[in-house]
Structure 1
Amino acid sequence: MKYLKWNVSILRMCLTFVLYLTAFQIVQLNKIYAQSDRDWSNAAIDSAWTTVPLGGGGYVTGLASNSDGSAIYCRTDVGGAFRWSPRDDDPQGNGTWISLSDHMVPFGTPKANKLMGVESIATDPGNLDRVYVGAGNKIFLSEDRGSSWTEILSELSMTPNSPTTRFFGERLAVDPNDPNVIWYGSIKAGLQKGVRSGEDWAWTQVPASSVPFGVPAKKGRDAGVTFVLCDANDGNTITYAGVFDGASSPTTGGIYKSSPTTGGIYKTSDGINWTKVPMASGSFNTPRRAQMASNGKLYITGGGEGVFKLPRGGSISAITPSISEAYFNGVAVDPNDHDGNIVYVADKASKKIWRSADGGVSWAEQDSTSDKRQEPDGTPTLNGYWFGNIASLLVNPADSNELWVSDFFGVARTRDAQNLGASGATWYMLQNGLEETVVMDVLNAPTGAQLITGVADISGFYYNDTTLRPTGAGGGKLTNPSGANSTSLDFSEADHDVWVRAWHGNYGNGSGGYSSDGGKSWLLFGEIDQVSIDSGAADWESWDLSTYLAKQQAKGVSMVTLVIVSKNATNFTRTPVQFASNEAADASLRPQLIINGASETPFSPIADTYVAGSKADKESNFGSFDVLKASHTYTTNTTNDLQIYMKFDLSAMSPISSATLKLHRLDAKPGIVYGVGVFACANTSWTENELTWKNRPLTYASSNSARNPFAEPRYKTATGVRLAGGRVAASSTDPDKLVWLPVGSKNRAYYSDDRGVTWTQSTGGPSSEITGVYTNGHSTEISGQPLAADRVNGDFYMANFGSSAHQIYRSTDDGATWTLASSLKNGNTYNMRTPQIVAAPASPSNPSGGDVWVCDDSVYNKNIGGLWRSTDSAATWTKFKGVSKVTAVSFGQSQSGTGYAVYIYGRVGSEYGVYRSDDYGSTWTKLADPTIKKVTALAGDRQKYGRVFIGTAGRGVFQYE
């Protein structure tokens, strides 16, 4: 009985403790969200959502390590924070990055997507498991290496994706002698000091009179405190803060006319009183990053101002490596070097890393031309570039020869940094699990690639297998155009090999692309055909001009101009590829246009010449030369550009069913590969004996006369209208026919019947500017989709979203003319970016098409938005009850194999998430919640039932099955 009473007492105590613990956990849920056990694995909450791997893709802006190197962290501008998880059984260093931000707060938490922009990261020198991050205008603390988080400060201003602040260092620092004290340097509110007492934190702001708030170099940019570092100093902490003053530094192009007053390094020995550290000579106004050596020596980078050193108790002196154009950001020290003399710095301008073993007296270097670069598993690194714009450097405390680098595409590491500058360090890209792309569109066709993505900054990628990173030509990257933002993707239901995409650059340029091989290779809008030429023994080269010339002839065009342009050749050689001209002595080698096969005599050009962009030859004419030359070297000018012009008379030709341009290439040095394209040009009034670079007519694809179309595509119509980005759609019945709703000309629709070579403005349609078009080429917001191709009957649909009704237009003549099909009442849900009109595949109830859906998430007012369907080509609509705030709608393969499954990202009832319907919207199945990232794109899998893809605003693409 005594033991029973004792056991009952114990039971009561346990129940009391459990109840207390449960209550405590409920209270803490708003602040702490645990992800995993303490095995540091950070496994996803629901493994149904998995990454579609790319590896890198965005700017990794910072690296940090705990004191023994057992935890390496990185931060990104839009993709969150990560921890490196090595494979213990792999001596080669394979491993994966684990996201620390995906589940920092529960799915659906308001403004949770802002947590993906991480401005700073710091570890506690005395606690291997404690880490801090500054993200989403807040500061968070983790006691378990990022598995769970507690918010300790809110309502700050952070700009982790700012063009300026991405170059700055770690603004969080833990006092090595008092872990209850941390510092944070903000961009607008100066230096903040946090003191912990139990579970509470008290924050104070250091007055601007002690540590200035900083001055930006340009209006609209942020600066502030650029880094904070603490020196243990034998138990007497010295804290340093860098302050940026871009107002007066000649290297920043400052906007203010003032003398340096705020920029420099500030320090305190008591945490209260601050002084500005003096310069040994000269001035230093724009500190960016800094690292502390074990003996208290501080090394600082200052962009164009160079590299500096600050001994404990001393003054600042310059130790910049000798270089003509300096722009230093990344800096790292060897924490095991007790003399504090081993330091690494990275120069953005020359794309070099420098190493000094004597405190900056002498330097060794390695640049990005080194071929010692691969993945840890031995495969070549095809995506991204290294040393491109290094933000951060880090030496692993566990290995002095292990140097980590972060830049615009990801993270690299070498384990023989001591060889840098001598035999050369071997670098490995550590991209596994590090997904950081802003996704603008995702799509697959019923056959072909498992997935094609359109992303910001780096075009997009082609996937044969969505479980593997793309390793095809160029790493599966969509090229031509390459880089910047692929804003829209579509394919033709009539031919799944035909894909089309819209593209917008970051500098006003823009165009689109057409693919006839399922998305593997692309032609620019305005480009007729392109071939890859391997130089070597003389031979004939051929281009297919069939569709373009046939369409031109059918329109009554009698004369055409062709412009032959080269992309960058192997190793950026200046050597041109040369062809025999119409003046060649051997008439059998002259240019030939073969019409309808071998049944007719080849046609010769009525004029041919080439023009040269070099300063000396801009006004030179080469019409009498017996050769034609094409070349291009990647450059901001046209010094090495040579372009070929040819003119053909179509009026004497039979009705064209096929057309092949053949040029005889002269022999050349082997081993050089050229990508040579034939472009269309509206102007045919030139003569070969007068044409020069300065008076040459431009192709449709190069509205900027200073550039090669491959270098900076800018589409301009024959009437002089610039077109770029926006949305594009391909006909479901004729793969030659496309419709484009671009940015430009008040977002009017344009149509093409020759695969995007020429574009003509449509007639009809709305009288006002179409809203919902992807507007600026930079934004990471979800974009509206106001254009769709019917998936069966060849019609097109266009929506003018907004006001009290969405106006839906239809074209039955391939986009040439538009008529109002219906006015869809939406309850005043006006918004510019997020509504969508999407056409569905054929189904048993709609075998002839006309099945169209519209969604609206009503983000700009209190109306709940909705989801609508039309089965009569947008004439009438039915709204789905209980479905609201729908951001995206898409279609995938059905469970039965006929018809389709519907996927939405929105709200059914009261729950927000990704849903699937197998009965055309009558009932819905909620899928597991994805990560907290904002969904920017959605695509049901047309090849596999149950699989759906989502694109995010910084964490790449995920798939569910």
Structure 2
Amino acid sequence: MSWFKRSLALAVAAGTLAITAPALAAPPTVQPYNWKSVEVLGGGFVSGVVYHPTEKGLVYIRTDIGGAYRLDRATNRWVALNDDLKRADGQLAGALSLAVDPQDPNRLYMAAGEYTGPYARGGALLRSTDRGTTWIKAELPVKIGGNEDGRNTGERLMVDPVQGAVLFLGAKDGLYRSTDHGASWSPVETFPKVHVTLVAFDPVERTKTGETAILYAGFATSHGGGLLVSTDGGIRWGLVDGQPKGLIPHHLALDANGGVYIAYGNALGPNGVTDGAVWKMDPDSGAWTDISPIKPDAGDVFGYGGLSLDPAHPGVIVVSTLDRWGRGDEVFRSTNGGKTWKGLREKSEHDTGGAPWVRGLEGKAARAMGHWIGDIDIDPTNPDEAIYVTGYGLWRTRNLTEADRSGRTDWRFDDEGLEETVALGLVSPPNGASGGAPLVSAIGDIGGFRHDDLDSARGSRYFAPHGGTNRGLDYAELAPDILVRTSDPTPTGGFHSTDGGKTWTAFASSPPRGSNPDTGRIALSADGKRMVWALRGAPPYVSSDDGRTWRPVQGVAPGERLDFTPVSDRVNPSRFYLYDAAQGAVLASTDGGESFKTTAHNLPSGRSLKAVPGAEGELWLPTNQGLMRSTNGGDSFKAVGGVDEAGLVGFGKAAPGQTHPAVFVWGKVDGVEGVFRSDDVGKTWIKLHDERWGFAELRALSGDPSRFGRVYLGVHGRGILYGDPPADGAAPAKN
């Protein structure tokens, strides 16, 4: 018998994947949904702010994993500018730097990329002539680390203020130049191979070809950093004499006379900065002056991050501390060029606006200003407006100059439209006795929510305790008021709720956690009486007493790599399943998770196994080779026709006239990428969006059991979206 036939016979005997798929489904039709954000507001690191120097009210922000935004002054909402990115370009949501053209307010440039490691996508320069509404992509000869250390510094992408076709871009390996509005790039060969943190033009002189002659570039090395200058339009570079030693320039601004102001830290940030200063250089004499508001010491370690000047009022400067974890970060203001300073925190008022959860996140009174204040900017057309960034969003004031009179400044969490969370788990329980919310989320870094009102963060309940990064999330299908969630930084790693997520109680204990803080995934039995929990890199454990005690499940083979996802049957409380990603296998339990047996193996590489509500033993597995379905408790799987790849799968209310829940999938159907719905158990598929949405990376997906057609998406770095079919009931169109 041949190897192939022998392997096939063994696979059939073991009850593994049925490779033969049913007849191919019809090509997907398109029915663009109405998409809205589930309002959280902020929730991620805003790494920089860029005002246009002359166009009144035009301001952009950049984020490390959520792209760029523009403020719509008419609605006072931030408009996302990169929602069309597709999977191949998902890492371009890392906005390392933004640049505006001082002569053309419609032009916008974005240095895009999240990482610079060996498996990262190459960087790209996104260019727009309509303020970010549409983009043209130019591949860069260098990778871009928009979510790496130093993303808080800048700006390192700059447009020549007198020759708009000329741009400079600082990267981790030096400086690059474009002369065609960013369409093509070449390295500046005379520039050293160092990590560039910022680029700045001083427009007081021009070259013979009409370009700005004087440029500055801040850089970092393993031994500190420094400031380089060019006086011939960027052809030759040299170190600026007399500058501070051992510090890295984070932000730089020039006054009308060419005076240079720099905020320094001893590390790239946004973490790990323990020293820093603010310095001023006189361009005529070359003299440097330390104008730091306060100096770090052994009992008060921090650096300086943001710095901005008011161009209409010489001598006005604002700076921010960075990583002042002990005493809390501060914003300082000077009106005399840094001779004297006034701290703003003590008399500041902070209005959380529509996001009262912010106070629950920060907690300590000393954290009133927030953390990771890597940038602060004064509106160059309005001296009363300023924005500073934090690790969870931004704050804006409209009475900055009041600090010069009474000392008070009023700041608001003006993050409407800005959604940068990473939802790692989404569930939509059917209404329970306590009046279930339509959605419950587990979110990285900030915790999660019971979303009583999808359109209002204020009208929803923030987890208390929030528990930092929450990963695992499940509810009891037959008792939906019972929920469980896992939480990385908390002592026992998990919480239990019996009122639909309104209140939470910490588990009394946890399985052995070792040194890995990742709390992995958890499954709750259909009646809410048992849990199976698999921490990352660990074997699964079971509890039958609400987490007071845990014991290892039986039947799981040891291995060098452990990667389990537990799933509960949505009908039978005694049935649990495990997807073993390391072995490509599914294991099943019929004794409440106490013991498991392998039922299927040699499965393609997959993601989260899902059980179907109302159908005992029905499982769906999204894989890189398609979507697999089992109707016999995991004994065998068959491929769903037409689905080429699947990343996530979920279920919602059945279509009228149907009994099986609607199926939602993020993946590729008949060669088309996107988010799809099937109302007939995978026979036909409908694509739920047009090209305005790319859905580059989803981390969670769920249908709604109470509302046909609704789907919830956890978009990496773009928060949570919910989509509904068009209200007019328009029929899907052929793709």
TM-score (norm 2): 0.83
- 2:80 paired residue among 99, 102, 106: 99
**CA drift at 1:343:** 0.6
Tell me how far apart the structure 1 counterparts of residues 466 and 549 of structure 2 sit (CA, whole Å): 17
- What residue in structure 1 maps to residue 10 of structure 2? none
Tell me how far apart the structure 2 counterparts of residues 133 and 768 of structure 1 sit (CA, whole Å): 45
**CA drift at 1:893:** 1.3
SS at match of 2:249: coil
SS at match of 1:158: coil
Matched, 1:291 2:266: no
Contact 1:266 1:274 in 2 (8 A): yes
Which deviations, in whole Å up to 9, do the C-alpha atoms of 1:649-672 show, x marking residues without a partner? xxxxxxxxxxxxxxxxxxxxxxxx
Matched, 1:271 2:221: no
**CA drift at 1:96:** 0.6
Tell me how far apart the structure 1 counterparts of residues 155 and 250 of structure 2 sit (CA, whole Å): 9
- 1:511 paired residue among 468, 488, 493: 493
How do 1:850-929 and structure 2 match up within 5 A? 850-857=617-624, 865-896=625-656, 898-929=659-690
How do 1:541-940 and structure 2 match up within 5 A? 700=509, 716=512, 724-733=518-527, 735-744=528-537, 747-768=538-559, 771-773=562-564, 786-794=565-573, 795-801=575-581, 806-820=584-598, 822-826=599-603, 829=604, 831=605, 834-842=606-614, 846=615, 849-857=616-624, 865-896=625-656, 898-929=659-690, 930-940=693-703
Describe the shift of the 1:239–1:932 C-alpha distance in structure 2 as closer, same or farther (beyond 3 A): farther
Contact 2:165 2:182 in 1 (8 A): no
Gaps of 5+ in 1: 1-44, 88-93, 215-223, 250-261, 527-699, 702-714, 774-785, 858-864
**CA drift at 1:150:** 2.3
**CA drift at 1:242:** 3.4
Contact 2:125 2:182 in 1 (8 A): no
Matched, 1:316 2:288: yes
- What residue in structure 1 maps to residue 732 of structure 2? none
Tell me how far apart the structure 2 counterparts of residues 721 and 446 of structure 1 sit (CA, whole Å): 37
- What residue in structure 1 maps to residue 470 of structure 2? 486
Which deviations, in whole Å up to 9, do the C-alpha atoms of 1:591-644 show, x marking residues without a partner? xxxxxxxxxxxxxxxxxxxxxxxxxxxxxxxxxxxxxxxxxxxxxxxxxxxxxx
**CA drift at 1:387:** 3.0
Matched, 1:229 2:200: yes
Tell me how far apart the structure 2 counterparts of residues 838 and 894 of structure 1 sit (CA, whole Å): 17
Q: Percent identity?
A: 29
- What residue in structure 1 maps to residue 15 of structure 2? none
- 1:953 paired residue among 707, 716, 732: 716
SS at match of 1:244: strand
Aligned length: 647
Tell me how far apart the structure 2 counterparts of residues 381 and 397 of structure 1 sit (CA, whole Å): 28
Contact 2:357 2:462 in 1 (8 A): no
Tell me how far apart the structure 2 counterparts of residues 392 and 494 of structure 1 sit (CA, whole Å): 49
Tell me how far apart the structure 2 counterparts of residues 117 and 499 of structure 1 sit (CA, whole Å): 34
**CA drift at 1:140:** 2.2
Tell me how far apart the structure 2 counterparts of residues 380 and 513 of structure 1 sit (CA, whole Å): 19
Contact 1:512 1:724 in 2 (8 A): no
Which deviations, in whole Å up to 9, do the C-alpha atoms of 1:525-579 show, x marking residues without a partner? 22xxxxxxxxxxxxxxxxxxxxxxxxxxxxxxxxxxxxxxxxxxxxxxxxxxxxx
- 1:114 paired residue among 62, 70, 91: 91
SS at match of 2:343: strand
- 2:704 paired residue among 930, 941, 954: 941
SS at match of 1:233: strand
**CA drift at 1:407:** 1.4
Tell me how far apart the structure 1 counterparts of residues 529 and 409 of structure 2 sit (CA, whole Å): 51
Describe the shift of the 1:416–1:46 C-alpha distance in structure 2 as closer, same or farther (beyond 3 A): farther
- 2:140 paired residue among 154, 160, 165: 154
**CA drift at 1:333:** 0.6
Describe the shift of the 1:306–1:919 C-alpha distance in structure 2 as closer, same or farther (beyond 3 A): same
**CA drift at 1:271:** 2.7
**CA drift at 1:743:** 2.4
- What residue in structure 2 maps to residue 589 of structure 1? none
**CA drift at 1:470:** 4.2
Which deviations, in whole Å up to 9, do the C-alpha atoms of 1:454-476 show, x marking residues without a partner? 1211122220021222444xxx3
Tell me how far apart the structure 2 counterparts of residues 459 and 160 of structure 1 sit (CA, whole Å): 23
SS at match of 1:725: coil
Tell me how far apart the structure 2 counterparts of residues 346 and 47 of structure 1 sit (CA, whole Å): 43
Tell me how far apart the structure 1 counterparts of residues 721 and 82 of structure 2 sit (CA, whole Å): 15
SS at match of 2:702: strand
Contact 1:374 1:380 in 2 (8 A): no
**CA drift at 1:723:** 7.8
Contact 1:904 1:914 in 2 (8 A): yes
Tell me how far apart the structure 2 counterparts of residues 509 and 166 of structure 1 sit (CA, whole Å): 31
Contact 1:950 1:959 in 2 (8 A): yes
- What residue in structure 2 maps to residue 692 of structure 1? none
- What residue in structure 1 maps to residue 4 of structure 2? none
- What residue in structure 1 maps to residue 320 of structure 2? 346
Contact 1:213 1:243 in 2 (8 A): no
* Structure whose alpha-carbon radius of gyration is higher: 1
Tell me how far apart the structure 1 counterparts of residues 403 and 228 of structure 2 sit (CA, whole Å): 30
- 1:329 paired residue among 267, 283, 305: 305
Contact 2:205 2:214 in 1 (8 A): no
- 2:69 paired residue among 82, 87, 102: 82
Tell me how far apart the structure 1 counterparts of residues 226 and 45 of structure 2 sit (CA, whole Å): 26
- What residue in structure 1 maps to residue 49 of structure 2? 63
Contact 2:698 2:716 in 1 (8 A): yes
Matched, 1:49 2:49: no
**CA drift at 1:274:** 2.0
Matched, 1:398 2:381: yes
Tell me how far apart the structure 1 counterparts of residues 184 and 430 of structure 2 sit (CA, whole Å): 58
Contact 2:568 2:611 in 1 (8 A): yes
Contact 2:419 2:718 in 1 (8 A): yes
Matched, 1:457 2:445: yes
Matched, 1:469 2:432: no
Tell me how far apart the structure 2 counterparts of residues 173 and 97 of structure 1 sit (CA, whole Å): 23
**CA drift at 1:931:** 3.2
Describe the shift of the 1:867–1:46 C-alpha distance in structure 2 as closer, same or farther (beyond 3 A): closer
Tell me how far apart the structure 1 counterparts of residues 663 and 221 of structure 2 sit (CA, whole Å): 53
Contact 2:66 2:717 in 1 (8 A): yes
Contact 1:443 1:452 in 2 (8 A): yes
Contact 1:885 1:907 in 2 (8 A): yes
- What residue in structure 1 maps to residue 161 of structure 2? 176
**CA drift at 1:51:** 1.4
- What residue in structure 1 maps to residue 339 of structure 2? 361
| Paired amino acid for 1:401 | D
SS at match of 2:373: coil
Describe the shift of the 1:187–1:910 C-alpha distance in structure 2 as closer, same or farther (beyond 3 A): same
Contact 1:389 1:407 in 2 (8 A): yes
- What residue in structure 2 maps to residue 126 of structure 1? 103
| Paired amino acid for 1:312 | P
SS at match of 2:185: strand
Contact 1:353 1:365 in 2 (8 A): yes
Which deviations, in whole Å up to 9, do the C-alpha atoms of 1:350-391 show, x marking residues without a partner? 410000111111000122x65612256798965755431111
SS at match of 1:406: strand
SS at match of 1:287: strand
What RMSD in Å do the two structures reach over aligned CA positions? 2.6
Higher relative contact order (CA 8 A, sep 6+): 2
Gaps of 5+ in 2: 1-30, 114-122, 266-274, 363-368, 725-735
| Paired amino acid for 1:410 | G
TM-score (norm 1): 0.64
SS at match of 2:90: helix
**CA drift at 1:850:** 1.5
